[in-house]
């Protein structure tokens, strides 16, 4: 984080109505890289589609990483919202709650280590 920039949020975060395609989103790799989900009517919704054709290997790696991160966004948001709720309540995460394990798993998914 840039130390010169003030934090984006300084108090409790109030939930809002989600306007994005609900998760889970699926990452698929083939000739193209896809992330898709299901919209409110139950129809397939493309979130992003990228091709690797004609790209240098270093650019292909970056595209894969970007698409993986985008695909994990709803799961990352879900875990983060629940962590913020714990922090706002001032209660520690209960040892029987799998939230930290879920957070580690979704971070691994986002960075391609899962």
Confidence of residue 16 (pLDDT cuts 50, 70, 90): low
pLDDT at 114 over 50: yes
**If DSSP states are collapsed to H, E and C, what string results for the chain?**
CCCCCCCCCCCCCCCCCCCCCCCCCEEEECCEEEEEEECCCCCEEEEEEEECCCCCHHHHHHHHHHHHHHHHHHHHHHHHHHHHHHHHHCCCCCCCCCHHHHHHHHHHHHHCCC
pLDDT in tens, 30-47: 778 888 888 888 888 888
pLDDT at 4 over 70: no
Confidence of residue 1 (pLDDT cuts 50, 70, 90): very low
């Amino acid at each position: 984080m840039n130390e010169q920039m003030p934090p984006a949020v300084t108090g409790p975060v109030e939930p809002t109505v989600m306007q994005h395609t609900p998760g889970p989103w699926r990452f698929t790799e083939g000739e193209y890289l896809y992330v898709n989900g299901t919209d409110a009517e139950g129809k397939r919704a493309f979130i992003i589609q990228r091709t690797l054709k004609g790209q240098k290997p270093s650019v292909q790696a970056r595209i894969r990483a970007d698409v993986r991160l985008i695909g994990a966004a709803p799961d990352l948001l879900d875990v983060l919202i629940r962590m913020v709720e714990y922090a706002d309540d001032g209660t520690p995460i209960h040892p029987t709650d799998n939230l930290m394990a879920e957070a580690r798993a979704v971070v691994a998914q986002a960075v391609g280590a899962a």
